[in-house]
């Protein structure tokens, strides 16, 4: 398999190059952001743009910046090259462009490529479907390294979307992010987000369901970015031979989509 890596000199790009090689695949090459001043891994062919890289690749892995998403979607759709997309911070318009590309090419788009997070996303949806939203307040806390440019993290938003799906609502309608000042009481059914930034934390996420007399917490801690790079290479391997479509890491891992559980009766201690 020939795997191309866009933004190959980034934190994830460099790790992806080493994981692609370790998995025994050919690195078709990479691209650098013009003027980034970063050095690519030695011995890897560099291409001036994504279109020329895509022409030499069976799959392109992309962990870059949200501002590239729409252009990358158009280029990869035209090239007919499979796409593993891990970039976070995409807007609704960016995601619409990604979904459009997936009508023509096979595409895995995941907020987090670590297997543990993939399972937590599935659990989050099931818990949210079973727990009455009026009694169990959903809050998501995440912490990342000081260089991270978007908040809340893609994984935190993915967790929020999973909870919203389980509750049969749209995240946009119930999201409360970054409380400050006189916010008033918590709106019933809200999904809350808090983002911490500091040091070199690779990625920590906790999803809480807080009720009057009990609390459930699901926590994932990534200690090494290799968890993401490894998952992305696995996704690239799985994508080869798939028909066009927008796939998730659950598809890559061969896990069934969560079945809808029965909702538990309302909490007696609910106000």
- Among 6, 73, 129, 156, which residue sits at the site for ligand NAD (rule: CB under 6 A)? 6
Which residue's CB comes closest to ligand NAD? 10
Query: What is the x/- site pattern for ligand NAD, positions 202-221, by CB under 6 A?
Result: --------------------
Is the separation of the CB atoms in 79 and 55 below 8 Å?
yes
Q: At what angle do helices 115-130 and 226-239 cross, to 10 degrees?
A: 90
3-state secondary structure 206-230: EEEEECCCCEEEEEEEECCCHHHHH
Q: How would DSSP label each residue in 11-49?
A: HHHHHHHHHHHHTT-EEEEE---TT--PPPPTT--B-SS
Using CB under 6 A as the binding rule, the residues of this chain from 46 to 65 that contact ligand NAD are: 63-65
Catalytic pick among 25, 72, 144, 220:
144
148 assigned to active site: yes
- Among 13, 29, 106, 258, which residue sits at the site for ligand NAD (rule: CB under 6 A)? 13
Tell me how far apart the alpha carbons of residues 78 and 15 are, in angstroms, rounded to a whole number.
27
- Among 61, 108, 110, 131, which residue sits at the site for ligand NAD (rule: CB under 6 A)? 110
Q: Which is nearer to ligand NAD, 144 or 167 (CB)?
A: 144
Q: At what angle do helices 154-167 and 115-130 cross, to 10 degrees?
A: 30
> Please, is 26 exposed, middle or buried when counting C-beta atoms within 10 Å of its C-beta (0-12, 13-18, 19+)?
middle
88 scored as a contact of ligand NAD (CB under 6 A)? yes
What tokens does 15 get? Answer: 């790790």
Q: Which is nearer to ligand NAD, 211 or 250 (CB)?
A: 250
Q: Minimum CB separation from ligand NAD for residue 254, in Å?
A: 19
65 assigned to active site: no
Q: Minimum CB separation from ligand NAD for residue 55, in Å?
A: 16
- Among 2, 11, 221, 226, which residue sits at the site for ligand NAD (rule: CB under 6 A)? 11
Q: Say whether 128 sits in a helix, a strand or coil.
A: helix
Interacting residues toward ligand NAD by CB under 6 A: 6-7, 9-13, 31-33, 36, 38, 63-65, 68, 86-89, 110-113, 154, 228
Catalytic center residues: 144, 148
């Amino acid at each position: 398999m020939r795997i191309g890596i866009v933004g190959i000199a980034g934190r994830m790009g460099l790790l992806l190059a080493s994981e692609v090689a370790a998995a025994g695949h050919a690195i078709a090459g990479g691209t650098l952001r013009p003027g980034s001043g970063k050095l690519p891994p030695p011995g890897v062919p560099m291409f001036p743009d994504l279109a020329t890289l895509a022409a030499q690749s069976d799959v392109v892995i992309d962990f870059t910046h949200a501002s590239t998403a729409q252009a990358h979607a158009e280029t990869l759709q035209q090239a007919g090259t499979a796409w593993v997309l891990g970039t976070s911070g995409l807007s609704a318009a960016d995601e619409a462009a990604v979904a459009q590309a997936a009508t023509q090419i096979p595409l895995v788009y995941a907020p987090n490529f670590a297997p543990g997070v993939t399972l937590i996303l599935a659990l989050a949806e099931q818990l949210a479907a079973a727990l009455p939203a009026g009694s169990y307040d959903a809050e998501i806390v995440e912490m990342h390294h000081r260089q991270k440019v978007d908040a809340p993290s893609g994984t935190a938003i993915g967790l929020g979307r999973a909870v919203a799906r389980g509750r049969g609502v749209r995240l946009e309608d119930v999201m409360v992010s970054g409380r400050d000042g006189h916010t008033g009481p918590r709106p019933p059914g809200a999904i809350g987000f808090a983002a911490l930034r500091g040091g070199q934390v690779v990625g920590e996420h906790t999803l809480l369901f807080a009720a009057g007399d009990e609390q459930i917490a699901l926590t994932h801690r990534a200690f090494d970015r290799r968890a993401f790079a490894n998952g992305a290479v696995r996704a690239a391997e799985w994508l080869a031979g798939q028909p066009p479509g927008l796939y998730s890491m659950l598809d890559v891992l061969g896990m069934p989509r969560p079945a809808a559980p029965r909702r538990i009766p309302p909490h007696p201690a609910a106000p």
